[in-house]
Every structure is written in C-alpha cells, then in structure tokens.
C-alpha cells in the first residue's frame, strides 16, 4: 500500500475536517482530538461530498439527506432522511492514516 501526503498536520486543527484528492480517490480527513482519520469524501447513499457537511465529535453528517457516519470506523450511525422516508446507506469507506514528521499521509 502506498501512503500519499495530503496535508500538514497543522492544516487540520482538532475538531475540523478537510477533503483531499489522492490520485483517483477523494478522501475526507478528520482531526478527532488530535488523531487523524480518513473516509471517502462521498456519502455512500447519494455520493454527495461529505466535506460540505459537519463534524460533531467523531460523526460526519451528510449535508444532503443528513445520514451520519463515524469518521473513525466509517460506520453508518444514522440513516438518511428524505421527507418521511428513512434510508440506510452503506458504511463509508475508510483509509489508513499515518502522521510522520508533521505530515498527514493516507494509504491508497
């Protein structure tokens, strides 16, 4: 597995998230209490960019239908809501992350 640098650790403060392109992959990096996690930057339900949503603790909320995903595991923790319907999206894809010399790197 190749690890690609996506950011300096200081570019993503605790409690924040940012999207990056790594080759063919769009990843969302979330800094959760000083630990970096990466998931696919698209909602598995509607493929909407998750970086346009919000990060609450370790949970990323999709801005389109409000599905929620754990940024540490990718697990769907709340279903998407469309009018009166509730749809269960798949879990978000996770990527391994490591920090070396202040550089955040994602395994792709």
CATH superfamily of 3-107: Rieske [2Fe-2S] iron-sulphur domain (2.102.10.10)
pTM surpassing 0.85? yes
Mean pLDDT of the chain: 92
pLDDT number for residue 69: 94
pLDDT number for residue 1: 82
68 versus 87: the higher-pLDDT residue is 68
Six-digit token string for 97: 């992350």
Q: Taking the chain, what is the end-to-end CA distance rounded to the nearest angstrom?
A: 6
8 Å CB contact between 69 and 50: yes
Q: At 83, is the pLDDT very low, low, confident or very high (cuts 50, 70, 90)? A: low
Domain definitions of the chain by residue range? 3-107
pLDDT number for residue 60: 97
8 Å CB contact between 93 and 74: yes
- pLDDT tens digits, 86-95: 667 789 999 9
Kind and range of the H or E run holding 31: strand 25-32
Nearest to 97 by CA among 16, 23, 31, 37: 37
């Amino acid at each position: 597995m190749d690890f690609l640098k996506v950011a300096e650790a200081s570019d993503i403060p605790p409690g924040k998230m940012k999207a990056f392109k790594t080759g063919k992959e769009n990843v969302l990096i979330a800094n959760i209490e000083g630990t970096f996690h990466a998931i696919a930057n698209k909602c598995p339900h509607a493929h909407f960019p998750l970086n346009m949503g919000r990060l609450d603790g370790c949970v990323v909320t999709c801005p389109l239908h409000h599905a929620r995903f754990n940024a540490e595991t990718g697990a769907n923790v709340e279903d998407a809501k469309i009018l009166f319907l509730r749809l269960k999206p798949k879990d978000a894809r996770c990527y391994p992350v490591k920090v070396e010399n202040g550089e955040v790197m994602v395994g792709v």
